[in-house]
Chains A and B, each alone.
Chain A
Amino acid sequence: DTGVSQDPRHKITKRGQNVTFRCDPISEHNRLYWYRQTLGQGPEFLTYFQNEAQLEKSRLLSDRFSAERPKGSFSTLEIQRTEQGDSAMYLCASSLQDPRDTDYEQYFGPGTRLTVT
């Protein structure tokens, strides 16, 4: 399977614990995005990387959240001191960004469903 993969698919954790999710994008894609989706809502942008550089972070991304893409390939999203409000589906997407294009597709992974008890 050459699509975007995410691990784990499900995570249940107790409030106050730290969790880390991994995303492996499509191999030639230079851009990687993290989104969060709660029930009944569309995905909300969290952050994105071009290669290894983190170019933008949403104000939704509090200081308890950190994301990395150390070698410009896979990415990790860590949430420290989890709260019940962090319960959501965390989606990763990747795209191949050509500066000449303004129309492109982001390919989404299956997501990691986080439940904080």
Chain B
Amino acid sequence: RKEVEQDPGPFNVPEGATVAFNCTYSNSASQSFFWYRQDCRKEPKLLMSVYSSGNEDGRFTAQLNRASQYISLLIRDSKLSDSATYLCVVNIVGSNDYKLSFGAGTTVTVRA
């Protein structure tokens, strides 16, 4: 079983629409959670961290459900520039273990 699983999509939405997607993680010891964004043939870049209480960053809202071990991302009023692959990322913080585990990504395409 993969450590992080995501719906690969693609999600094709019109400009201005709301799009939401989830990911699940298998290791209950996971302590830090992130959404990264990756444009085609580019490197991943941090979009936002995900906190237990849920958090917003502009049009982006992230939620964490520890009991069910899933993370969600919601994009409101989507823009053409939001077209990208969104990577769900978890980190198990231990004495020496700071590696990130990535999902395979959810592809979002926003059309005019």
Cβ-defined contact, B104 with A42, below 8 A? yes
By secondary structure, the B interface counts as loop
Cβ-defined contact, A43 with B98, below 8 A? no
Chain B residues with CB under 8 A of A55: 96
By secondary structure, the A interface counts as loop
| Minimum CB–CB distance for A37 against chain B, Å | 8
> Which residues in window 7-26 of B have CB below 8 A to A?
8
> Which residues in window 27-45 of B have CB below 8 A to A?
31-32, 42-45
**Band of interface residues on B:** 20 to 34
Cβ-defined contact, A45 with B43, below 8 A? no
Asked if A106 meets B100 with Cβ closer than 8 Å, knowing A42-B4, A42-B87, A42-B105, the reply is yes
| Minimum CB–CB distance for A6 against chain B, Å | 9
Residue of A nearest to B89 (CB): A42
Cβ-defined contact, A56 with B96, below 8 A? yes
Quick one: which of A40, A58, A108 contacts B44, CB cutoff 8 A? A108
B46 at the A interface (CB under 8 A): yes
Chain A residues with CB under 8 A of B105: 40-42
Q: List 21 A-B contacts (CB under 8 A).
A: A31-B98, A41-B105, A42-B4, A42-B102, A42-B104, A43-B100, A44-B102, A45-B99, A48-B98, A48-B99, A55-B96, A56-B97, A102-B32, A102-B93, A106-B46, A106-B100, A108-B43, A108-B45, A109-B43, A110-B42, A110-B43
User: Which residue numbers of B lie inside 8 Å of A, CB to CB?
Assistant: 4, 8, 31-32, 42-46, 49, 87, 89, 93, 96-105
